[in-house]
Structure 1
Amino acid sequence: MSSPRNPPFRAEHIGSLLRPKELVEKRYAVAAGKASKDDLKPLEEASIKSIVELQQKCGFHAVTNGEHSRHQFWGTFFETLTGMEEIHLREGGYDQSIFRAYAPDVKSFMHEKTIPNQVTLATGKIKHTGTSSFLPEFEYLKTLVPKSEWKNIKLTLTSPSWYHFRYGPNKAYLPGVYNSDAEYFADVAAAYQEELSILYDAGLRNGQIDDPNLAYFCSDEMLKGWKADKENFQTADEQFAAYLNFYNDCIKRPSDFHMGIHLCRGNYVGSRHFSEGAYDRIAAKMFNDLNVSTYYLEYDTPRAGGFEPLKSLPKNKNVVLGVVTSKFPKLEDQKEMVERVYKAADFVSEGQGISREEALKQLSVSPQCGFASHAEGNELGDKDMEKKLQLVRAIAEEVWPGEA
């Protein structure tokens, strides 16, 4: 399978962008019942229009809505499926023993407030309703760019395993709902396929799955916890392989539908990450067995390891190098970042036995993560974010002059 390009473009970003304070406050007011949803929509649309204009000003082609219509990066896909329920909204709540205490995001959430965000389980058989929760985002974006550019619009999508990994074995669904993960995965995959079909029919050609879970398999601490958990009926390697098969079932798609995946180590309140660990453990299997065209990889700090795993990148895949941090305002040195891109290309070159120039054709550059995976965003300001985006564009222009 050949790898579609344009997208990805030479200068990319991960999707989420800082939200205006008034939008965040209004969303909280709506959630608290102090304001109407009707009051929220004009603010959302105005902020999305403004953030699209910023992306265009900075020279980005794969525009997103900045996730300004969401409170958290994963949106509401699972919550709108038949059979999925936010059980923390039930009277009496839930038993915290359902969680993997060593899951990196769960540990962080528990430290913050004892309750992970949106505790959602399968309380019945999962099925798509036929109405897409992501479609309105795409349809509004289509009104903001020329029709010729609709194919470039990037929509960030929920990780298929988002509401599976955080829970212990067979605890992503209530007893009696499913007899095995295989049954649960099959129904989620069918729902995911229907979602992608709706979006494709509407014109979407550029999707990006935001996925912290696969990167957690790089973490020594997580793997230690996994091994010590006597309830696990699979090794971590077996679970990772099962996820890749599950994801492939979810993202079957036409050949002109570009699909990428962002591997994230966390992007939480206070610009915190959840986990650390190099890609070495998972790279070869992920690059070769996961049916996506593009990998958006974090490479802003040593917590992600070196570029050596890129030696396993096949010739038909792309990598977007997240060398510019989105977490803090200090601006990276352009020359140093350009050299890092060349260094990454040299590992691709070595692995495939090709020249650096050929290897560069499979690479792009971006910030390491979103600027606002959660409502309040990271610890930097709007001007800082704009400078970061401009830097990414400048790096791309220097490394790939004249290319999109």
Structure 2
Amino acid sequence: MSTSSSPSCRASHVGSLLRPKALFDQRGLFETGQCSLNDLREVEDAAIRDAVGLQLALGIKPITDGEFRRGMFFEGVFDVLEGMQFMPERPISEFKEYIPHIGMMKSAGVLSDKTIFCSGKIRRTRPLYVEQFKYLASLVEPEDVKNLKITVCSPSWFHQRHGSDMTYDRSVYQDDDAYFDDLGIAYRAEFKELYDLGCRNVQIDDPTFCFFCSGVVTAKMREMGVNPDVLLDTYIRAINVCTRDRPADMNLALHLCRGNFMGAHFCEGDYEPIASRVFKNIDVDTFYLEFDNTRSGGFAPLRFMPETKNVVLGLITTKHGDLEDVDLLRTRLRDAVNVMVEDGQLKTVEYAMSRLAISPQCGFASVWQGNPLTEEDQRNKLELVAKTAKEIWESA
């Protein structure tokens, strides 16, 4: 992997961590207006220090701040960019029903939901995560700054909710390309400033691509007059305009997520329907992929993975506290390697192993309330990732 070739660096995690009790309680007070942002920040600072210490102790890399300053994983982008308007109660009819949780909300009689609408020209007039990275960097030795990671939501996040017709004001942007081009400018400016501060790892979290893995979802798209093949290409391009022209030593990763709201998933189906186009055409260095259960499908789609890409196999679930069996993890990794070598693009087992790492399939807390695990469960999961990586790569 790009950060190091040592066995410990084969142990990774997606980004978010459970809020420790002190932070969980303080966040609850903040959400109900019972404490100030400054009060919250003090508790966040302490929690982030502890989270960094945990990752350093376990040999987990890249290191994140646990997303402890966010209420939800996607915060800090669209709510910061100029041209974006917060809408506290947008009619549910203006959300795309082919997105599974939107369909469920509509069936349940929900009339509206909060969202963001692009009502003006998109501009990055202030940093998104620069201050968060500065604090994170202050907690490690200078030589470890290159091992830090910032996570950011996908540029398609609100577009997948509202589609090409209701995401942006048509008097501002005439089509999706124009909208995503300006988003790309903003993302690239953020990545450049982070790079100048020493950041070498950025991960884009994308819960959109996996919707195209579901025949139920794509059939609903067609029923509603949306061509899923065209929309998939739109979202591939959206990523690429954000990641282009990056420095050669900046690792851009993409996490393909199936949903992780307090342990709940939103879609099913393996990567087969999208694998060739996504793996070959998206301009990132690393893919974080979910393979924690049968819902995620098998490893066959990995035959499309180009030999230049890194792959982090999400074999350990964050949706419950039960620990996976190390021998089974070893077997599953071997199965993935066999696909990549015997059926795929990679020449040798040794080379395949050099491009692989393992991790939990998703974060432990995409929202501040977290998943149905305890902090002890989380530590056990991370220890399992580190132990398994050490055993596998030291014996490889």
Q: TM-score, normalised by structure 2?
A: 0.94
Is 1:396–2:392 an aligned residue pair? Answer: no
User: Quick one: which of 355, 358, 362 aligns to 2:351?
Assistant: 358
**What amino acid sits opposite 2:273 in the alignment?**
R
Counterpart in the other structure of 1:304: 296
User: Quick one: which of 157, 169, 180 aligns to 2:175?
Assistant: 180
**What amino acid sits opposite 2:121 in the alignment?**
K
User: Quick one: which of 132, 141, 150 aligns to 1:155?
Assistant: 150
**What amino acid sits opposite 1:139 in the alignment?**
K
User: Quick one: which of 82, 86, 97 aligns to 2:93?
Assistant: 97
Return the alpha-carbon distance in structure 1 between the equivalents of residues 390 and 113 of structure 2.
39
- Residue 188 of structure 1: CA displacement? 0.9
Counterpart in the other structure of 1:55: 55
3-state SS of paired residue (1:100): coil
3-state SS of paired residue (1:94): strand
Counterpart in the other structure of 1:46: 46
* Contact in 2 for aligned 1:283/1:309 (Cα 8 Å): yes
* Contact in 2 for aligned 1:331/1:388 (Cα 8 Å): yes
- Residue 29 of structure 1: CA displacement? 2.6
- Residue 244 of structure 1: CA displacement? 1.0
* Contact in 2 for aligned 1:317/1:362 (Cα 8 Å): yes
What is the aligned length? 392
- Residue 169 of structure 1: CA displacement? 2.9
* Contact in 2 for aligned 1:260/1:294 (Cα 8 Å): yes
- Residue 27 of structure 1: CA displacement? 2.5
Return the alpha-carbon distance in structure 2 between the equivalents of residues 353 and 338 of structure 1.
19
- Residue 356 of structure 1: CA displacement? 2.1
3-state SS of paired residue (2:97): coil
3-state SS of paired residue (2:164): coil
* Contact in 2 for aligned 1:227/1:236 (Cα 8 Å): yes
- Residue 104 of structure 1: CA displacement? 2.7
**What amino acid sits opposite 2:314 in the alignment?**
G
Go from structure 1 to structure 2 and tell me whether the alpha carbon gap of 1:248 and 1:168 turns closer, same or farther (over 3 Å shift).
closer
Is 1:21–2:21 an aligned residue pair? Answer: yes
- Residue 45 of structure 1: CA displacement? 0.2
Counterpart in the other structure of 1:290: 282
Counterpart in the other structure of 1:338: 330
* Contact in 2 for aligned 1:108/1:274 (Cα 8 Å): no
- Residue 255 of structure 1: CA displacement? 0.8
Return the alpha-carbon distance in structure 1 between the equivalents of residues 204 and 109 of structure 2.
27
List per-residue Cα deviations over 1:159-208 (Å, max 9, x = no partner).
Answer: 11011111133211134232211221111111111111221122111011
Return the alpha-carbon distance in structure 1 between the equivalents of residues 258 and 47 of structure 2.
27
* Contact in 2 for aligned 1:152/1:205 (Cα 8 Å): yes
- Residue 61 of structure 1: CA displacement? 2.9
Is 1:323–2:321 an aligned residue pair? Answer: no
**What amino acid sits opposite 1:243 in the alignment?**
Y
User: Quick one: which of 364, 371, 374 aligns to 1:371?
Assistant: 364
Counterpart in the other structure of 2:72: 72
3-state SS of paired residue (1:204): coil
- Residue 122 of structure 1: CA displacement? 0.3
- Residue 402 of structure 1: CA displacement? 8.1
**What amino acid sits opposite 1:168 in the alignment?**
G
Q: Equivalent pairs: percent with the same residue?
A: 39
Return the alpha-carbon distance in structure 2 between the equivalents of residues 264 and 111 of structure 1.
24
Return the alpha-carbon distance in structure 2 between the equivalents of residues 211 and 116 of structure 1.
24
Return the alpha-carbon distance in structure 2 between the equivalents of residues 113 and 143 of structure 1.
48
Go from structure 1 to structure 2 and tell me whether the alpha carbon gap of 1:112 and 1:66 turns closer, same or farther (over 3 Å shift).
farther
* Contact in 2 for aligned 1:7/1:62 (Cα 8 Å): no
3-state SS of paired residue (2:165): coil
Unaligned runs of 5+ in 1: none
3-state SS of paired residue (2:162): coil
Counterpart in the other structure of 1:217: 212
List per-residue Cα deviations over 1:305-341 (Å, max 9, x = no partner).
Answer: 1000111111111110000101101101000001100
3-state SS of paired residue (1:34): coil
* Contact in 1 for aligned 2:73/2:367 (Cα 8 Å): yes
Counterpart in the other structure of 1:168: 163
3-state SS of paired residue (1:200): helix
* Contact in 1 for aligned 2:90/2:113 (Cα 8 Å): no
3-state SS of paired residue (2:220): helix
Is 1:6–2:4 an aligned residue pair? Answer: yes
Go from structure 1 to structure 2 and tell me whether the alpha carbon gap of 1:316 and 1:5 turns closer, same or farther (over 3 Å shift).
farther
Return the alpha-carbon distance in structure 2 between the equivalents of residues 185 and 98 of structure 1.
20
- Residue 113 of structure 1: CA displacement? 9.0
Counterpart in the other structure of 1:84: 84
Q: Bigger shift: 238-247 or 295-304? A: 238-247
Return the alpha-carbon distance in structure 2 between the equivalents of residues 306 and 286 of structure 1.
17
Is 1:106–2:113 an aligned residue pair? Answer: no
Return the alpha-carbon distance in structure 2 between the equivalents of residues 195 and 60 of structure 1.
25
- Residue 96 of structure 1: CA displacement? 1.9
Q: Bigger shift: 144-153 or 169-178? A: 169-178
Return the alpha-carbon distance in structure 2 between the equivalents of residues 282 and 113 of structure 1.
32
**What amino acid sits opposite 2:372 in the alignment?**
E
Return the alpha-carbon distance in structure 1 between the equivalents of residues 107 and 324 of structure 2.
31
Is 1:135–2:130 an aligned residue pair? Answer: yes
* Contact in 2 for aligned 1:18/1:382 (Cα 8 Å): yes
Is 1:262–2:255 an aligned residue pair? Answer: yes
**What amino acid sits opposite 1:6 in the alignment?**
S
